Structure 1
Amino acid sequence: MMNTNKVYNNILSNFNTDTLYRPQKDAAIVEGDSLELMKKIPSHSISLILTDPPYHSTNKKNITGDTKFKKDEDFLDWMEQFAKEWKRILKFNGSIYCFCSSQMEYQLINRFSKDFNILSTITWTKPNKPGFDGWRKKMKKENLRQWYPASERIVFMAPKYGENLFNSYFGAKLRSWRNLVKISGHDLTEITGAYGKVNHGGAVSNWEAGRNIPSREQYTKIINALKIRDTNGLISFPDYEDIIRPFNVDGTMQYTDIWDFETVRQYRGKHPAEKPIDLLENAIKASSYVNDIVLDTFSGSGSTAEAALSLGRKSISMEIEDKWVQASVDRLKSTQIELKV
């Protein structure tokens, strides 16, 4: 398995010490333009990207970058540059959660789908208790000329490796391994007992198409079956954590594509786009392994870093505004992180 501590420290060594802060051993904050900062990250070294870029459509002056682009196309071109870098730095089995507005969702997905498999589009409903509903309760309904945008979107995606929907790195590797040792998909299905009845598994054809991912037990059976045929030792098989995209949910989590997490209530010093810790934890727990590296390229006040630390992950936060860099440093230094793993 990849030595995550070594990878993490290697990544951080590439940044200027004047703009790098380490409020916790496993939490780093880098000040600057994340599009440029990402170029210093080695390829295929980040496990999960969880990030909240400017929405553009909301046009809020108190969010850096939200009013930067006059045309939608300029904003989309800018975001496409991020997508290219995200794919380069993500591990082959990495994932991305990218927040966006409902208005820009489809245009962004169109750009992202050039480099990523769009696995889900999550609707965050933002429910709140009476008295904390903001403009939803106060605004005059008769003035509406379209449905009130009470939700936000989160695009969940993984790097695409092929020309068809869902083509994945593992799927391509499995097919090449099978061809190398001359074992049919049907025979491998028989050996592993994966007939598609288990949602986490699916038949070999589904794994190769990228529609499903094998469980740890199924992957072990795959490797053992292939090793018997690989008499010349031609194949080096990665550990499960280095090739299978993590996706681990249970009944205690929000596991559908509708997420109901209350918004962060107003407090002195609150970031205008701050996301709730429990929502971020839901994504991190599902789509990363313990000790993985989580990157937020628009980190704001450091919520993603706090959520990552609480689940035993390492974090790298990139933020362009010095005000929020300092707020993040203070937050992570003073917050008592409760480990939830």
Structure 2
Amino acid sequence: MQTGGMMQPYYSCDGVTLYHGDSVECMNAMPAGSVDLIFADPPYNLSNGGFTCQSGRRAPVDKGAWDRSGGIREDFDFHCRWIEACSRLLRDGGTIWISGTYHSIYACGYALQSLGFHILNDICWFKPNAPPNLSTRVFTASHETLIWARKGEGRHTFNYDEMKHGGWDYDVLKRPGKQMRSVWSVPTPKRSEKKEGKHPTQKPLALLQRVILASSYEDDLVLDPFAGSSTTGIAACLLGRRFIGIEKEQTYLDLSVRRFRALLGEDDE
């Protein structure tokens, strides 16, 4: 990741830069106050031996060592460390979005408030095509929560008219010409979004496009400290924003590179 004290990009092209390494270490090497918007999809700590439903079949939820819980205190300390690193990078008035389920989102929300962030909204991302619950012992999980929070007292970016009048035909809950509300109906990723490979927690492109359109301007710098397959970066690139992604797992970093090369029309080396 570093040579002579300087971080070396794993991939860089047309305003997109990817780094391979630990998110906190990478962020601590970047200039303070240099980022306009952060979207973070940290580990949900779900890999505990349970199971879920994929394509109508029972499948384990174990995604890898990166998604295993270290216990309540260790998990919370981890969230505090990476959110503090994000806070240093954000400009005054810059905002952060964090996605999660009940396994992680409450710890992230408490960490945000402990570190002085002002929570602007919590968004319920409703998944109209969520998989069924096979245990029949609890309600079927069909949503995730996104927290949107501001650093400092500066004026944050919110493109109200874009949210009110934009083209949201896929969202059965959004009424044309009416204010965007805090419950969003967005289907899980399309098959075409996984043609270069799959990530176990991949977010739909439509979700990230809405987040970025809502809270940034063209040429703003968007950061994703847990880039995964870089859906955040694909959305940022399509919308004329600059992007920095950090990913610890090289397999997913290589998947990101394939996606960017396909998007930007690059020849494979």
TM-score (norm: length of structure 1) = 0.64
CA distance in 2, matches of 1:250, 1:63: 40
- SS of residue in 1 equivalent to 2:67: coil
**Structure 1 residues 285 and 265 mapped into 2: Cα distance closer, same or farther (>3 Å)?**
closer
What amino acid is the match of 1:270?
Answer: K
CA distance in 1, matches of 2:34, 2:64: 29
Q: Is the 8 A contact 1:57 1:101 kept in 2?
A: no
Aligned-pair Cα RMSD in Å: 2.1
Q: Which structure's residues are more often helix, by fraction?
A: 1
2:145 alignment partner in structure 1: 153
Residue ranges of structure 2 left out of the alignment (5+ in a row): 49-60, 169-173, 175-179
2:79 alignment partner in structure 1: 79
CA deviation vs aligned residue, 1:51-100 (integer Å, no higher than 9, x gap):
21101145443245211x33122101110011111111101021111111
1:118 alignment partner in structure 2: 119
Q: Which structure's residues are more often strand, by fraction?
A: 2
Residue ranges of structure 1 left out of the alignment (5+ in a row): 1-12, 162-167, 171-243
What amino acid is the match of 1:20?
Answer: Y
Q: Is the 8 A contact 2:218 2:239 kept in 1?
A: yes
Structure with bigger gyration radius? 1
Indicate yes or no: 2:250 matched with 1:250: no
CA deviation vs aligned residue, 1:159-211 (integer Å, no higher than 9, x gap):
1x4xxxxxx2x3xxxxxxxxxxxxxxxxxxxxxxxxxxxxxxxxxxxxxxxxx
- SS of residue in 2 equivalent to 1:65: helix
CA distance in 2, matches of 1:263, 1:63: 21
Instruction: Give the deviation of 1:16 after TM superposition.
Output: 2.9
- SS of residue in 2 equivalent to 1:47: strand
2:209 alignment partner in structure 1: 281
CA distance in 1, matches of 2:264, 2:106: 39
Q: How many percent identity over aligned positions?
A: 29
Instruction: Give the deviation of 1:264 after TM superposition.
Output: 1.2
Instruction: Give the deviation of 1:261 after TM superposition.
Output: 0.6
1:308 alignment partner in structure 2: 236
CA distance in 2, matches of 1:316, 1:14: 19
Between Structure 1 and Structure 2, how many residues are aligned?
Answer: 232
Structure-to-structure mapping, 1:132-147, within 5 angstroms: 133-136=130-133, 139=134, 143-144=136-137, 146-147=138-139
Structure-to-structure mapping, 1:24-63, within 5 angstroms: 24-57=13-46, 59=48, 60-63=61-64
CA distance in 2, matches of 1:275, 1:317: 15
Q: Is the 8 A contact 2:20 2:249 kept in 1?
A: yes
CA distance in 2, matches of 1:14, 1:158: 31
Q: Is the 8 A contact 2:202 2:231 kept in 1?
A: yes
CA distance in 1, matches of 2:188, 2:64: 17
CA distance in 2, matches of 1:57, 1:246: 33
2:219 alignment partner in structure 1: 291
CA distance in 1, matches of 2:84, 2:223: 15
**Structure 1 residues 127 and 14 mapped into 2: Cα distance closer, same or farther (>3 Å)?**
farther
CA distance in 1, matches of 2:147, 2:47: 17
CA distance in 1, matches of 2:211, 2:5: 28
2:57 alignment partner in structure 1: none
